[in-house]
Chains A and B, each alone.
Chain A
Amino acid sequence: DIVLTQSPALAVSLGQRATISCRASESVRSSMHWYQQKSGQQPKLLIYGASNLASGVPARFSGSGSGTDFTFTIDPVEADDIATYYCQQSRNDPTFGAGTKLELK
């Protein structure tokens, strides 16, 4: 299985930029996707194919990377963005990162 490694938490101030990384144990090319999960809710797809914004997602969200190293950015961070963010690869059988909890500084 392809293992995805994310930092467990990130503290950020409102209005600032938040950058979350995801590293894959082997190349997934551009088959990386990002989800937002707010407390008590189902996950929501934000970015697909490493850098493509899903329908209806604000342009404050963006993704980049290919191969094994990927970055998800929120700029600027709003209060409504407080959530856990997961990366997921689809190069092989789907696997998810453990999630990065975005917290307010």
Chain B
Amino acid sequence: EVQLVETGGGLVQPGRSLKLSCVASGFTFNNYWMSWTRQAPGKGLEWVASITNSGGSTYYPDSVKGRFTISRDNAQNTLYLQMNSLRSEDTATYYCTRNSGYGGFDYWGQGVMVTVSS
């Protein structure tokens, strides 16, 4: 059974940093691209970052480019999201997602809440 378990969320002040982790199990982690997607309270879904299966390439939308860094440790089956210079608009539930081979996200973690507030 595919499982994605996120940790590392919490309350953080604006301008500070936070690092999220996602431990994957139930599939061959290094065969898949992985991503982070977020959802602000009561709002829709927003893609945040993607990383190739080897970790050699990463992709971001303009809203987080230069502030967020996605990375992975294939030996530990773990995906990371380093979030720097956090803003109030980064407040959201962050989901770890597995990229299917067809462009959609076929598995999602339960999500971890990040609140940016003073």
Contacts and interface: CB of A to CB of B under 8 A. Distances in A.
Interface residues of A, number: 24
Give the bracket for the number of chain B residues in contact with chain A. 20 to 34
Scoring B47, B59, B102, B109 by chain A CB atoms within 10 A of each residue's CB, the highest score goes to B102
Classify the interface of chain A: helix, strand, loop or mixed. loop
Interface of A: 1, 31, 33, 35, 42-45, 48-49, 52, 54, 86, 88-91, 93-99
Interface of B: 35, 37, 44-47, 50, 59, 61, 95, 100, 102-111
23 contacts: A33-B102, A33-B104, A35-B45, A35-B104, A35-B105, A42-B95, A42-B108, A42-B109, A43-B95, A43-B108, A45-B104, A45-B106, A49-B102, A86-B45, A88-B104, A90-B103, A91-B103, A93-B47, A94-B37, A96-B45, A96-B46, A96-B47, A98-B44
